[in-house]
Amino acid sequence: MAFIEAAPFAFGRHLAKLRRVKGWSQEKLALESGMARSYLGGIERGQRNVSLKNLVKLAKSLNIPTPVLMNFSVDEKLIQAKMQSLMLAGATVPPLSEKHSNEVCAPRDRRRRPESMDAQNRSMRSALHEEDSAYDADKS
């Protein structure tokens, strides 16, 4: 698993730790930051990719400097824990190696509409075009 894939998981654990040190629940942090509790839960589980705006909101809510919020590390044990949680969820996990840790993930394949839908759209467009032409001819 690449560092990039494990970073949200590591950040989420770090955020949860900072929140618990303050003695706050997710609900309290959600109220203070103006974010949804379910969104914060997703961040803490490493399922959400946090924007810069939200990082600043979280730091301000926790009354800590933003660099302190961003001061987390992704170590080998954390990567292994994330891999194990993915495998328990039924996901296929790539082997952990230096080669994979620096690769950029390829974009997902975009799903194409079935050709029948494309044909339907073409026929609808041509029918509309014919109607427009007939209307213009009647108008003249």
Q: Kindly report, residue by residue over 127-140, the tens digit of the pLDDT.
A: 666 666 665 666 66
Structure tokens at 117: 């839908």
Among 3-7, 30-34, 47-51, 92-96, the range scoring the smallest mean pLDDT is 92-96
What percent of the chain clears pLDDT 70, i.e. is strictly above it? Answer: 54
Structure tokens at 21: 């040190």
- More confident site: 138 or 13: 13
Per-residue pLDDT averaged across 84-89, rounded?
Answer: 67
Tell me what pLDDT residue 135 has: 59
Does this model's pTM top 0.75? My answer is no
Separation of alpha carbons 57 and 40, rounded Å: 12
Residue the block writes with tokens 């955020």? 15
The answer for residues whose C-beta is within 8 angstroms of residue 26's C-beta and 6 or more apart is 19, 37, 40, 41, 44
Separation in Å, CA 102 to CA 3, 96, 115, 138? 8, 11, 38, 65
Separation of alpha carbons 123 and 117, rounded Å: 10
